[in-house]
Amino acid sequence: MDLFEKCKNYTVAEEAREMGFYPYFHYLNSGQDIVVNMEGKRVIMIGSNNYLGLTSHPEVIEASVKATKEYGTGCSGSRFLNGTLDLHMELENELSKFLHKEDTVTFSTGFQSNLGIISAIAGRNDVIVCDKENHASIYDGCRLSYARMLRYEHSDMEDLERQLASIDKDKGILIVTDGVFSMGGDLCKLPEIVRLARKYGARVMVDDAHSLGVFGEGGRGTASHFGLEDEVDIIMGTFSKSLASLGGFMASTREVCEYVRHNSRPFIFSASITPACAASALQALKILEREPQRVQNLQDISNYMREALKKRNIPIRKSEAPIIPINTYDDWRTFVACKMLFENGVYVNPCISPSVPVGEAIIRTSYTATHTKELMDEAADIIQKVFAELPDCEYFEKLRKEHEQQK
Contact 344, 41 (CB under 8 A): no
* Distance, CA of 283 to CA of 278 (rounded, Å): 9
pLDDT for 406 beyond 70: no
pLDDT for 403 beyond 60: no
* Distance, CA of 15 to CA of 46 (rounded, Å): 27
Whole-number pLDDT of residue 191: 98
Tell me 102's DSSP state.
S
pLDDT for 392 beyond 90: no
State the average pLDDT over residues 320-327: 96
User: In the structure, what pLDDT confidence band is assigned to residue 18 with cuts at 50, 70 and 90?
Assistant: confident
Whole-number pLDDT of residue 205: 98
CA 303 to chain centre: 20
Tell me 188's DSSP state.
P
Whole-number pLDDT of residue 358: 87
**Catalytic-residue membership of 56:** no
Mean pLDDT of the chain: 95
* Distance, CA of 42 to CA of 175 (rounded, Å): 44
Contact 76, 274 (CB under 8 A): no
Rg (CA), the chain: 22
* Distance, CA of 151 to CA of 237 (rounded, Å): 22
Q: Please count the other Cβ atoms lying within 10 Å of the Cβ belonging to residue 170.
A: 6
* Distance, CA of 350 to CA of 364 (rounded, Å): 6
Whole-number pLDDT of residue 211: 98
State the average pLDDT over residues 94-104: 98
Span 290-310, pLDDT tens digits: 999 999 999 999 999 999 999
**Catalytic-residue membership of 311:** no
Whole-number pLDDT of residue 404: 60
Is 292 buried (19+), middle (13-18) or exposed (0-12) by CB count in 10 A? Answer: middle
In this structure, are strands 148-152 and 203-207 parallel, antiparallel, or unpaired?
Answer: unpaired
pLDDT for 374 beyond 60: yes
pLDDT for 402 beyond 90: no
Q: Which residue of the set 57, 88, 101, 210 is catalytic?
A: 210
Which positions ≥6 away from 248 have C-beta within 8 Å? 106, 107, 108, 109, 110, 111, 112, 113, 114, 209, 236, 237, 238, 239, 240
CA atoms within 13 A on the CB side of 314: 29
Q: Which helix (H) or strand (E) holds 131?
A: strand 126-131
**Catalytic-residue membership of 211:** no
Whole-number pLDDT of residue 19: 81
pLDDT for 116 beyond 80: yes
pLDDT for 84 beyond 70: yes
What is the pTM assigned to this prediction?
Answer: 0.94
Q: Which domains does the chain have, with CATH numbers?
A: 5-51+292-406 (3.90.1150.10), 58-290 (3.40.640.10)
User: In the structure, what pLDDT confidence band is assigned to residue 21 with cuts at 50, 70 and 90?
Assistant: confident
Q: Which residue of the set 135, 241, 339, 371 is catalytic?
A: 241
Beta bridge partners of 101: none
Whole-number pLDDT of residue 20: 83
Angle at 316 between CA 366 and CA 33, to 5 degrees: 15
Tell me 355's DSSP state.
T
Buried b (16+ CB within 10 A) or exposed e, 393-405: eeebeebeeeeee
For the residues of 200-248, what is the DSSP string, one character each?
A: HT-EEEEE-TTTTTTSSGGG--HHHHTT-GGG-SEEEEESSSTTSSS-E
* Distance, CA of 383 to CA of 402 (rounded, Å): 28
Which of 253-267, 345-359, 360-374, 386-400 bottoms out in mean pLDDT, i.e. has the lowest?
386-400
Whole-number pLDDT of residue 393: 62
Buried b (16+ CB within 10 A) or exposed e, 47-85: bbbbbbbbbebeebbebbeebeeebeeebeebbeeebbb
Span 343-357, pLDDT tens digits: 999 999 999 888 888
Whole-number pLDDT of residue 368: 98
Whole-number pLDDT of residue 3: 95
Q: In percent, how much of the chain has pLDDT > 70?
A: 96
Span 122-165, pLDDT tens digits: 999 999 999 999 999 999 999 999 999 999 999 999 999 999 99
Residue 288, classed as helix, strand or coil, is helix
Whole-number pLDDT of residue 395: 65
Q: Which residue of the set 182, 242, 245, 270 is catalytic?
A: 182
pLDDT for 15 beyond 70: yes
pLDDT for 24 beyond 80: yes
pLDDT for 375 beyond 60: yes
* Distance, CA of 244 to CA of 263 (rounded, Å): 28
Span 185-241, pLDDT tens digits: 999 999 999 999 999 999 999 999 999 999 999 999 999 999 999 999 999 999 999
Whole-number pLDDT of residue 391: 79
Q: Cα dihedral sign for 29, 30, 32, 34?
A: negative
pLDDT for 5 beyond 80: yes
